[in-house]
Amino acid sequence: MDFSGYLRWYFRSTLGAANLLVAGLGFAGGLLLGLSLPGAAAAAAGLGFVVGAGALVGGFGARAAAAARQAQADKVNAERIASTRALRDKLARLRLSPGPVADARQLVLLSSGEYLEACAREKRHDPLAAEALSEAIELLDIHLKEKDEAATERRFGLKDADPFAEGESRIVAALTEKAAVLRERRIQIDGGLAAAGLMAVKEDLR
């Protein structure tokens, strides 16, 4: 972290906020003591500098800045994971008849569930996983639209106005591909450890 980055995150931290508060109190105190505005501002700046320099030299400032940056990263990560979880929930709510497409959807749900577990465990996320889930929803929307159109055509004895050759098998293949992407993203996050491997790591850390 360079110095500009340090200042950015330091003043976002609790310690940095306290530093600014001390400077503000110094300004108010200077005015109460009868100093002019420039004099009070100089006193506030000097007091703030002393506190900030002490935090920097003592290492407290660096730790506070690092903690503030990590807290922000954790917040963004949690938001992205929640967004991906919402996509998975939407995928799960789509109503499908039993069959190959429903089975392929279940594979995507399984892979995405494992991915989200890895995200929560490792506190990381991968935007490609959210993209894969979003595309899986789009694929099922296409499938459902085709099913609705086919049902209408059968009901009224109409010709197929928009043929979708081998539509079901193509949807299944595409969904299987999305499940593979989710598995790959999960492996990138947790190293591909199976349940036994994850338990072994926890036991070693005890």
DSSP character string of 64-124: HHHHHHHHHHHHHHHHHHHHHHHHHHHHHHS---SSHHHHHHHHHHHHHHHHHHHHHHHT-
In the chain, where are the structural domains located?
Answer: 3-65, 94-194
> Quick one: pLDDT at residue 80?
95
Buried/exposed code over 84-114 (b: 16+ C-beta within 10 A; e: otherwise): bbebbeebeeeeeeeeebeebbebbbebbeb
Q: Is the dihedral of CA 151, 157, 161, 163 positive or negative?
A: positive
CA distance 42 to 200: 59
CB burial of residue 23 (10 Å; 0-12, 13-18, 19+): buried
Using pLDDT thresholds of 50, 70 and 90, give the confidence band for residue 99: very high
pLDDT at 69: 92
pLDDT band with cut points at 50, 70 and 90 for residue 158: low
Q: What is the pLDDT of residue 150?
A: 74
Residue-wise pLDDT tens digits, 41-95: 998 999 888 898 898 889 989 999 999 999 999 999 999 999 999 999 999 999 9
Q: Residues 126-133: what's their mean pLDDT?
A: 96
